[in-house]
Amino acid sequence: MLVQFSGQATSFGALAPGLCFAFEREGRPHIGLKVRDDAGGADSCVVVWAEGGEGPALLSLPPPNDCPVLSLPDAMFQPAADPTQIQTEGTGQREAGQLLLAEDRWLLVVGDGAGTALIDIKAGARIRDAQDAIRIRFRAWRIVQKGLGDEYDTICRHVVKRQSKVGFARD
């Protein structure tokens, strides 16, 4: 099934922080989120999804301001409803790709080359020192856009690949 994104053609420089957008990089389609780093004041970009499985990760260099993009102003992050993808207790380990409900805001954990960084999705801001209590961690989510009627079309989805095993090792 072909999903028609409803969006506007624009440039990366014209986007407001916190907006999702579609763009092409190295000949492949990507979904990005524009981010402002308040500490440095510079615009950056999180690759939320890329053909081939990359993401979510902060790009070391954002697209040029004149880079053509398709703004997706109606795109929304939707956490998984599958209980096996939800962690509600304990501190847990932050892993790139997790969607966190922290107090009253949504944070996305992204790779940043030196580990992970937190992105406030709505504000489109990199969070340096999150003091929020993490209420729920989602290991799977999707980005949706309202379609016809009450239907929502999925733009992309992400599942954190489990890296650690649960259980005990034998000596």
Domain presence at residue 51: yes
Domain presence at residue 169: no
HEC-encoded secondary structure of 1-25: CCCCCCCEEEEHHHCCCCCEEEEEE
Can you give the pLDDT at residue 40? Answer: 66
Domain presence at residue 26: yes
Domain presence at residue 2: no
| Alpha carbon separation from 115 to 5, 57, 95 (Å, rounded) | 32, 10, 9
Please give the share of the chain, as a percent, with pLDDT higher than 70.
85
Domain presence at residue 23: yes
Does residue 89 contact residue 101 with C-beta atoms inside 8 Å? no
Domain presence at residue 168: no
- In degrees to the nearest 10, what's the CA dihedral of 115, 134, 81, 74? -80
**Across the 171 residues of the chain, what is the mean pLDDT of every consecutive 10-residue run?**
68 95 90 84 88 82 93 94 83 84 90 89 85 82 86 90 45 35
Give the chain's domain count: 1
Domain presence at residue 154: yes
Tens of pLDDT along 43-90? 899 999 888 777 799 998 899 999 999 999 999 999 999 988 988 766
Segments forming the whole domain that contains residue 121: 8-159
